Structure 1
Amino acid sequence: MTEPETVRPEPAQILLVEDNPGDVRLTKEAFEQGRIENDLHVVSDGAEALDFLTQRGEYEDAPRPDLVLLDLNLPRTNGEEVLRELKDDPELRSIPVIVLTSSQTEEDIARSYELHANAYLTKPVDPDEFIETIRAFETFWFTVVRLPPEVDEQ
């Protein structure tokens, strides 16, 4: 007998940090086709990502993401620095970060995990494979994995 799927009372809050408009479009399409109700928030560089995560400037009302999809090759502040700052912040470090990048170098993979990325996915070049990768990731992270509860601010 299988257990029924847990129903999320609210949509999953996902922050996509991606500067390539084509990859943003494919990611949106994949999440629209997926089974998990979500709010996908998109920022196009690392500085914006840090503002969103820390609710600074125009992002003061931004929701706390349940998950971050992070490209490494970003303008202004690169993905590695975003990952470092996120995981160094006691209030934010519990947010899972999935590196989603075109880089397949061993150095980038090792460095991402050293900086406490929760997973490292290489973007497939083929659009259909890209969408399938996002959907598989979505299913895994939102139906199999137990995500940490939101920390109550004092």
Structure 2
Amino acid sequence: MIDDKLGQNVEILLVEDNPGDIRLIVEVLKEGKINNNLSVVEDGEQALAYLRREGSYQDSIVPDIILLDLNLPKINGTEVLAEIKRDPLLKYIPVIILTTSEAEQDILKAYDLHANCYITKPVNLEQFLTVVRSIENFWLTIVKLPRR
């Protein structure tokens, strides 16, 4: 079963404004065993435009999974999550919160808005890489994602 999935191409949208985190996530997913197309947007406004295929994102592909930071410029991640889960065309896309916030109110709010999981980014580089590999191993090999 897993071998079948290795051949599929998974569309991933990364919503992240930290260039260092973007670079690390790109590298881990490039090295991974899952074929994927990773699209990156750096703020909440771009994320919603991408998902709604507006403006310069008219040719964007609806992602199979979204990695979403909460602390974003323009429109924060919580608002982006609320918009995704409110939209009948987007609400089934799994959203993984990947953020530095450990605040209990952020965790509760994310789950209240139907985030699929909440992961706090480790500060240690090796732990951060392990977390991203774990996301790939679980969400892209074990979990059955809804198809677009």
What SS does the corresponding residue of 2:119 show, helix, strand or coil? strand
The percentage of counterpart residues that share the same residue type is 51
Question: What CA distance in whole angstroms lies between the structure 2 residues aligned with 1:145 and 1:51?
Answer: 27
TM-aligned CA deviation for residue 5 of structure 1: 3.0
TM-aligned CA deviation for residue 131 of structure 1: 1.1
Q: Does 2:13 align with 1:20? A: no
Cα 1:114–1:58 change in 2 (3 A) is: same
What SS does the corresponding residue of 1:5 show, helix, strand or coil? helix
What SS does the corresponding residue of 2:49 show, helix, strand or coil? helix
State the TM-score, normalized to the length of structure 2.
0.96
> How many residues were matched structurally?
148
Greater C-alpha Rg: 1
Q: Report if the CA contact (8 A) 1:18-1:74 is conserved.
A: yes
**Unaligned regions of 5+ residues in structure 1, if any?**
none
**Unaligned regions of 5+ residues in structure 2, if any?**
none
RMSD: 1.1
- 1:80 maps to 78
What SS does the corresponding residue of 1:50 show, helix, strand or coil? helix
State the TM-score, normalized to the length of structure 1.
0.92
Question: What CA distance in whole angstroms lies between the structure 1 residues aligned with 2:123 and 2:6?
Answer: 32
Amino acid at match of 1:59: Y
Question: What CA distance in whole angstroms lies between the structure 2 residues aligned with 1:7 and 1:68?
Answer: 18
**Greater share of residues in helix:** 2
- 2:107 maps to 109
